Amino acid sequence: MSATPNTTKSSDSTNEEASTTKETPKELSDDKIFHLLQVKRRRDALRYLQNHNGSAEMRDVTEQVAAWENNTTVTELSSNERQRVYISLYQSHLPKLDKEGIIKYDQSRGNVTLTPLAEQLKPYLDVAVNDTGGTADNSDASNAEPVPWLKAYQYLTVVGFTIFLGLWANISLFTAVGLQLWAAVIVTLFGVLSAAQILLTQQ
């Protein structure tokens, strides 16, 4: 008669221990962490999730990772730039992170969510340098899209080339200023742009 309660208590204790063991994240080895984070697109995807409360739609993750890679904004991404990142995340990187228990990836719904195991990667992501030129962290500033420096230089080059053509064609609007002054203006603009890039990317 007295054996039954003891058996029940023992069974309950075993179930609680099993439940606790199941809920406790496994310890990732240094080699495993290095392997998971050696691919930049995985790191960027994890950073994005960290900075968005650990959960996001795959489309949003893809667009921001592509924007970081191409040093542009999400709104200025081309379809090819989006597609390249989407394919690699969809077919390779997100399934890999899901298999290792770092994320929960619902392909049918397009949802990506960090698991408790991802906390072990957080210190490595916090100190890793990202493509925007800064250090990745969990502040709101890290969510900002990078300044499209390449496009700024391209626009300035177009302006300089236009001025050169105007001078070559002897258009009064350009010749009235003079070659030396135009040259000084263009050089100054390039200098200001370069200085701004250095200062902002070091913040």
Nearest to 44 by CA among 75, 88, 76: 88
Q: What is the dihedral of CA 19, 22, 24, 29, to 10 degrees?
A: 160
What confidence score (pLDDT) does residue 15 get?
52
Q: Which residues pair with 104 in a beta bridge?
A: 113
Residue 5 pLDDT > 60: no
What is the average pLDDT score of the chain? 77
- Output the six-digit token pair for 134: 């800064």
Express as a percent the part of the chain with pLDDT over 70: 72
Over range 68-82, report the average pLDDT.
92
Yes or no: say if 45 and 93 are a contact pair by the CB < 8 Å rule: yes
pLDDT (tens digit per residue) in 28-66: 888 888 888 888 999 999 999 999 999 999 999 999 999
pLDDT tens for 110-151 read: 999 999 998 988 888 765 444 343 334 333 333 334 446 677
Q: Which residue has the higher pLDDT, 184 or 12?
A: 184
- Cα–Cα distance measured from residue 199 to residue 47, given in angstroms and rounded to the nearest whole number: 23
Residues belonging to the chain: 203
Are the C-beta atoms of 75 and 91 separated by less than 8 Å? Answer: no
CA atoms within 13 A on the CB side of 45: 33
Q: pLDDT value at position 98?
A: 93
Mean pLDDT of 77-82: 91
Decide if pLDDT at 77 tops 50. Answer: yes
pLDDT of 180-198, one tens digit each? 888 888 888 888 877 776 7
CB 165 within 8 A of CB 175: no
* pLDDT score at 193: 79
In the DSSP assignment, the letter for residue 70 is T
CB 135 within 8 A of CB 127: yes
Greater model confidence, 196 or 81: 81
Indicate the pTM of the whole model. 0.52
Q: Residue 159: which pLDDT band, with cuts at 50, 70 and 90?
A: confident
pLDDT of 7 > 70? The answer is no
* Amino acid at site 179: L
